[in-house]
A and B are shown apart, each in its own frame.
Chain A
Amino acid sequence: MTLVAALLAAPLPSAAQEARPSVFAIDTAAAIEQTADFQGNRLTGLNVDAAVSIGRPGFEAIVWPVLQRLNSGQWNRDVWIATVRYERPGPVGVRIDGGLIPSPVGLANVTVRRPHLNPTIALPSSLFSTLPPPEPRGPRPNLLGGIYPFGTQVTVSGPKWDARAALVDTSPLRRRRIFSRTNPPRFANLVVGGGVTPFVGFRVGASVTHGGWLRAGESPAAASDRDATVVTVETEFSFAYTRLAGEWVRNSIDTTLGARVASGWFVQGQQTLAPRWFVAGRVERISSPLVLATRVDEQRLIAAEGVVGYRLTPEITLRAGHRARRGFGRPGYDHQASVLLVWWRRWI
């Protein structure tokens, strides 16, 4: 008691009596996935990442390193985001990002890339599945790749609207990895997008991206640089225990054989059944042009996934699901069963 009284008599830092926002904000996610197909093949995937933010409200620096063991057995280490961000809230909020920024294009890129945020087990195919090459012996693009480009983005928003513009060095059709030796060339791409939120929980947005995607000489037939225009429409709707999201993408790809169109969409949903239980699913489809004129002038990728999830703790989630996928040019569906264990932890 004497000691406590003496300590009380001593001056205490007045700042200690009020909580302060932390300078560091760190969270990590780790996920291990076991997949088996009906031919008896078993694959194990691993994903470990960390989101590190340093700063105060207003200015912050954000780094997002990732380590992955893909189902193919290949290891991938990368830094997806390394950006400096300024944010000013208000009636018209302003945010400016510069550096290796989150993709300014698309919905999946900002909602499901981390395993604890993805309601299912697999990611939308548009992020990683390549299309058939639209150029003879040319590179295979993505419909809308999971990109983290160098560039700058300015976002402004009010209570019921948002708008953004970005200038980036990466085409949404060609993924670049910061540690890869086989990256595609850099292409300047301009992104303009926006959305409206008529009521809380419902948003509709769209974006247009235009810029180069193919460098002269990358294909034997490409004598000059080629451009592509990517149009996206996205929506999210949440109510009660249900959450829905969908995205539609249309690419107009300039090739030596003329403009080719690839398009696709996905719809996903999550339903909370009980405090610990939820179900989720995704249906998706991608249509790609064929490089040569044949009777069939496009190919399709179709996939569907259903997942049951159980939240063991606020930090650990177990998911089990089934995935059916028919890839480009495949005669039938491949079926896979997967189990995913996700551990997410907010440290500071």
Chain B
Amino acid sequence: MRFSLGPGARGLGLAALVALAAGGPAGAPGAVAMLALGDAGGQEHASIVGRVEIGIPVTIRRPTSTYATRAVVQRTLAAESERRHVVVYLRDARPQRVAPMRVSILQRHETFMPRVVAVTVGSEVDFPNDDPIYHNVFSLSRARTFNLGRYPRGDTRRVRFDRTGIVKVFCEIHSHMSATVMVFAHPWFAMPDETGRFALGAVPPGDHHVTAWHERLGDTTVKLRVEPGRAAATDFVLPVPAQ
């Protein structure tokens, strides 16, 4: 994955961001959508819409319980559309001044929910614990290194992400738990809904590389020409079938 951080970052004067944060115990996993509206230059923008499908079964880790704890742990892995764990973004977008977001990654049933979130630089992510056991959230990723320590049910800790990149998040106690925070310095990214549909709004006209990223299935990039005031469509099937 490549993140552009060129020095010629232009501000989007009227850029407005709509961020739906997954909050509360019942949080809407992966409900992070962004829309950049308008441009200081008055340029007529376009949009990119499409659908993401997963072409092969995706497995997630379950606990290795060689050491059985003395209590029987309540493990229920949430059934969730894997399409919500895909991030679609403009690969060659230039850095912009973007508004920070506030999202939440819940720890429930020894699972991070949602497992993937995408945010803008400067955003804060809450990590509430909803399990009747301790968790210890940490990351050693280059884009953000942190260790939140152990905290019980009902407590939450917050992390601010000030650098672009991929931040892999783990639980020190439960090795099967992992999450990913993708941090962007531009507003052109989206996460599909349950049916796989996504939309990137207020995209500058021109040729763009659009990437769909999945933590297991990797990057799939297509080149797309976006005409002013029109919606360009592109669909993804992950992973890319062999040619």
Contact = CB atoms under 8 A, between A and B. Distances in A.
Interface stretch (B68-76, B100-108, B118-126): B68-76
Interface string B144-180: 0111011111000000000000001010000110000
- Classify the secondary structure of B's interface with A: loop
A64 B236 contact: no
Interface string A12-35: 110111111111011100000000
A346 B64 contact: yes
B140 A313 contact: yes
Contacts, number: 173
Contacts of B138: 275, 314
A94 B68 CA distance: 12
B147 A274 contact: yes
B63 interface: yes
A104 B138 CA distance: 31
A81 interface: yes
Contact of B54 (A16, A197, A311): A16
Interface stretch (B30-38, B79-87, B91-99): B79-87
A4 interface: yes
Nearest to B61: A22
Interface stretch (A68-76, A198-206, A217-225, A289-297): A198-206
A10 to B, nearest CB: 9
A85 interface: yes
B64 A25 contact: yes
A34 to B, nearest CB: 25
Most chain B CB atoms below 10 A, which of A111, A200, A239, A243: A200
B60 A159 contact: no
B234 interface: yes
Interface string A69-101: 000000000000100010111100111010000
Contacts of B61: 21-22, 25, 346, 348
Contacts of B59: 19-23, 348
B76 A155 contact: no
A207 to B, nearest CB: 9
Given A89-B76, A241-B149, A27 B68 contact: no
A205 B70 contact: yes
A110 B69 contact: yes
Given A5-B235, A275-B147, A276-B140, A157 B70 contact: yes
Interface in A1-58: 1, 3-5, 7-8, 12-13, 15-23, 25-27, 51, 53, 57
Contacts of A201: 134, 150, 152
B172 to A, nearest CB: 8
Given A4-B235, A25-B62, A238-B134, A57 B77 contact: yes
Contacts of B235: 4-5, 8
Given A1-B234, A275-B138, A276-B140, A53 B69 contact: no
Contacts of B82: 16-19
B206 to A, nearest CB: 18
A82 B85 CA distance: 36
Nearest to A240: B149
A113 B67 contact: yes
Nearest to A21: B62
Contact of B80 (A1, A19, A21, A240): A19
A80 to B, nearest CB: 9
Given A93-B72, A238-B134, A62 B65 contact: yes
B227 interface: no
A240 B76 CA distance: 26
A156 interface: yes
A21 B57 contact: no
A90 B132 CA distance: 13
A298 interface: no
Interface string A95-130: 101000010000000110110010000000000000
B58 interface: yes
B68 A93 contact: no
A16 B58 contact: yes
A273 to B, nearest CB: 9
B140 A314 contact: yes
A238 to B, nearest CB: 5
B68 A275 contact: no
B71 A200 contact: no
A12 B236 CA distance: 13
Contact of B153 (A89, A195, A200): A200
Interface in B223-243: 234-237, 241
B197 interface: no
Given A8-B51, A201-B152, A25 B63 contact: yes
Interface of A: 1, 3-5, 7-8, 12-13, 15-23, 25-27, 51, 53, 57, 60, 62, 64, 81, 85, 87-90, 93-95, 97, 102, 110-111, 113-114, 117, 155-157, 159, 162, 164, 193, 195, 197, 199-201, 203, 205, 238-241, 243, 272, 274-276, 311, 313-314, 346, 348
14 contacts: A7-B55, A12-B53, A12-B54, A15-B57, A17-B81, A26-B64, A53-B64, A93-B72, A110-B67, A110-B70, A155-B72, A157-B70, A274-B147, A275-B139
Given A16-B82, A200-B132, 6 more contacts: A16-B53, A18-B82, A21-B59, A157-B71, A240-B151, A275-B138
